[in-house]
Structure formats: structure tokens, C-alpha cells
Structure 1
Amino acid sequence: MADHASDDEVFDFANTEFTREDLVQALNDMVHEYKTLSHTFEEIKAENASLKNSSAESSSDELEDTDSLKTELSRLKIENDLLRNEASELKAEVDKLTEEMSSWNKAVSAFQNLRVSSLTG
């Protein structure tokens, strides 16, 4: 049984055909496979821990980003309301000044008509 036919090969320890060397080789192969699997397991465990940490940091960063965006949105809404009020006040002032200008124009026109009629008459 010194030639290993497949990875799924299983020793039949009751079989007397096996030599001591076959058993030692099988044991050495198992130890080597165990070390390889242990190393792989530790690497995967470390990678998993790293992913958990980065995921937690990412979630924390996203929450901070969300909070700062909410704060900024709130600030912009307040600023928008203030600008709307200011625009409304300015429109009211423009309307008032337009009315005054209209009154002045009517007064000037009436004064000119009066002047013309006093000069001609």
C-alpha cells in the first residue's frame, strides 16, 4: 500500500499487508495535512476577524456620515426658510416702492399738465 491510489484512500488496519513504513507514511501525511488545515483555519479566522472589524468601522462611519448629512440637511432647510422669508419681505418692499413710484409718476404728470395749462391759459 506504499503507492497512494487516491486522496480518499483509507487504511484497513486489520490488513496484514501494511508495513510499518506504510503506517508511518500515513501518519506523517495526516500530520502534514493537519498542519496545513490548522494554518488555513487560522488565516481564515484572522480574515474573518478583520472583515468583522472593517464592517463595524464601515457601519460606524456610515452612521456618522448619515448623522452629518441629516445635520446639514436640517441646516439647509432652516437657511432655505430664512431666504424664503427674506425674499417675501423684499417682494413686499418692491411692491410698496412700485406703488410709490406710480403715485409720483401720476403727481409729476398732473403737475406738468397743470403747468402747461397755466402757461397756455
Structure 2
Amino acid sequence: MAEESTKSWADSDSETSSTSSSSSDSEQEEVHCFMANQTDDDEVFDFANSEFTREDLVQALNDMVHEYKTLSHTFEEIKAKNASLKNSSAESSSDELEYTDSLKTELSRLKIENDLWRNEASELKAEVDKLTEEMSSWNKANRSLQAI
């Protein structure tokens, strides 16, 4: 039964294949080389075993499909998480840039205000100096008048 299953699988491959027998021979060599390079731990089925059945292959395929679905689901979750992290990182960067821009604007406003206060302080100092001179001349004039 196992030989018939294996033979029917091989026959269906050869029917659908449009390559020459030398190409299928080289494919078989590649498969044998690949299988020879595997360690015993990697081998799931012993293809030389006469007890290998179609049901074993179907079960293995079902297990692989289940594992594929699990891995695909995990991949999609990680992909979504990665996209979320990229978005949050971009939003954080954008927020930081906006905050930096607002700080720069505030700093510019404060520099302008500081310059205005310096100008006003200079004007007031000049007025104080002028009034001090005027006061000094009035005091001299007052002393001169009192001395007479």
C-alpha cells in the first residue's frame, strides 16, 4: 500500500511535469543530496520506511499548514506592533519638533521684548543723567544765590 501511494505520487508528478527524464533525474539527485545533508534530528519521516503512508503525509501537511497559520498570525501581530511603534515614534518626533518650534518662537519673542526693555532702560538712564545734570546746576545756582 505504501509503495503504491509513493508510486502514485511520483506518477502524478511525472504526468504534470513537462521536463525530460534527465531533468527529473537531476531533481531527484538534488532531493537526495538535500536529504543526505540533513541531520537525523531534522528528518521527520523516514521515506525508506515501508510503513510511510499517504495519511502520514496528509498529517504532516496539515501540521505545516497549522504552523504556517500560527507563524503568519504572529508575523502580522509583530508587523502591526512595529508599525504602531514607528507611528508613535514619528508622532513623538513631530510633537518634539512642534515643542521645539514653540520654544524657539517664545525665545525670539523674549529676545525682542528684552531689546525693547534695554532700549527703554537706556532712554530712562539718559533722562536720569539729564535730570541729574539739571539738578546739579540748580543746586549750584541755589548755593550761589544763598551766598549772595
Work out whether the TM-score is over 0.5: yes
Deviation string 1:18-64 (CA, Å, 9 cap, x unpaired) is 45665454334323322221111010111111122212222222222
Q: Distance in 1 between matches of 2:92 and 2:119?
A: 40
Query: 3-state DSSP class of the match of 1:15?
Result: coil
Tell me which amino acid in the other structure corresponds to 1:79. Answer: E
Match of 1:37 among 55, 71, 74: 71
Q: Distance in 1 between matches of 2:78 and 2:42?
A: 25
Q: Report what 2:138 is aligned to.
A: 104
Gaps of 5+ in 2: 1-40
- Percent identity of paired positions between Structure 1 and Structure 2: 91
Q: Distance in 2 between matches of 1:89 and 1:14?
A: 105
For the pair 1:89 / 2:111, whether they are aligned, the reply is no
Q: Report what 1:69 is aligned to.
A: 103
Q: Report what 2:15 is aligned to.
A: none
- 1:67 CA displacement: 2.0
Q: Please report the RMSD computed on the Cα atoms of aligned residues, expressed in angstroms.
A: 2.4
Q: Distance in 2 between matches of 1:14 and 1:22?
A: 14
Tell me which amino acid in the other structure corresponds to 1:78. Answer: I
Q: Distance in 1 between matches of 2:119 and 2:42?
A: 81
Q: Distance in 1 between matches of 2:81 and 2:108?
A: 40
Match of 2:50 among 13, 16, 39: 16
Question: Using CA pairs below 8 Å that are at least 6 residues apart, which structure has the higher relative contact order?
Answer: 2
Match of 2:80 among 46, 57, 63: 46
- 1:97 CA displacement: 0.9
Query: 3-state DSSP class of the match of 2:95?
Result: helix
Q: Distance in 1 between matches of 2:145 and 2:79?
A: 97
